[in-house]
Amino acid sequence: MENTESRVWFITGCSTGFGRELAKAVLARGERVVATARKVEEVQDFEESGPELARAVRLDVTDPEEVSGAVDAALDAFGRIDVLVNNAGYGSMGGVEEISDEEIRRQFEVNVFGVLNITRAVLPHMRERRQGHIINISSVGGFVGVPGFGIYNGTKFAVEGISEALALETEPLGIHITIVEPGAFRTDWAGRSLAAAPAIDDYRETVGQTREYISNENGNQQGNPRLAAEAMISAVEADEPPLRLPLGDDALGMVREKLDSVKRETDAWETTIVETSFEHGATE
């Protein structure tokens, strides 16, 4: 594929994990990438592929000036952005009561407002061209709540709600939205990148079990980040890209279990649910 025709990918959080693997996979296909990270030296190696293929750009997604500068750098280098991947983010572990106010706000600032900052900066360029694809890296925890990750769940549920609405808004403009929902993958997410709050003993049977699971699972996750990157590329290349893309058999199982649970509950409460309308309510 000629460079003048190959896609341009703008990927946040490329220093490790999904972002790094995706950037590597994109370059291996002869496509172009703007690889971003808060510490630009951690993504500088991508430029070894050549300036016609890769640019390393410093980006803190919570800094509006850096967001604007990074998007301008991408457009100056390659003239367009075909695929935006909102990957930058991290997890906070702890019960809803356990996590500090400061950490709650930081978690939302990075995981939600960071996604909005980049997305809103890139959308005008995609609208002008009437094409583009935005991949928002959520989590199976953006679809299913887990004890010990309530605040993290909240950020990813927010990303999913925003993404669903955005998909409806941009569909007539030729812009696709895909929400990626990974399960447990062998990245730094559950290791050095994870923020853990001090424990409250009363939550040892709920949050405590999650803490133990994460500690034991870290480094042994079955999910392969390289294969996750290939799955994301497949979604971009699809004639009808998915709105949601769970990754990993664990994620698929959790999604299906929740869908079944919601159906059972709404079926059981159907009479109460429908009788709240004026048409079905009791006459005064």
CA separation (Å) from 43 to 27, 59, 163, 172, 207?
Answer: 13, 11, 27, 35, 35
Q: Which of 92, 152, 163, 203 is catalytic?
A: 152
Q: Which of 6, 15, 49, 138 is catalytic?
A: 138
Q: Which candidate, 59, 67, 155, 161, places its Cα nearest to that of 119? A: 67
Cβ(245)–Cβ(181) below 8 Å: yes
CA 159 to chain CA centroid, Å, is 7
Does the annotation mark 156 as catalytic?
yes
Q: Which of 15, 49, 139, 156 is catalytic?
A: 156
Q: Which helix (H) or strand (E) holds 73?
A: helix 64-78
HSE-up of residue 129 (Cα within 13 Å, Cβ side): 15
Does the annotation mark 138 as catalytic?
yes
CA separation (Å) from 230 to 35, 226, 258?
Answer: 17, 7, 26
Beta-carbon contacts of residue 31 (< 8 Å; ≥ 6 apart): 1, 6, 7, 8, 9, 53
- Give me the phi and psi of 117, to 5 degrees please: -60, -50
Active site residues: 138, 152, 156
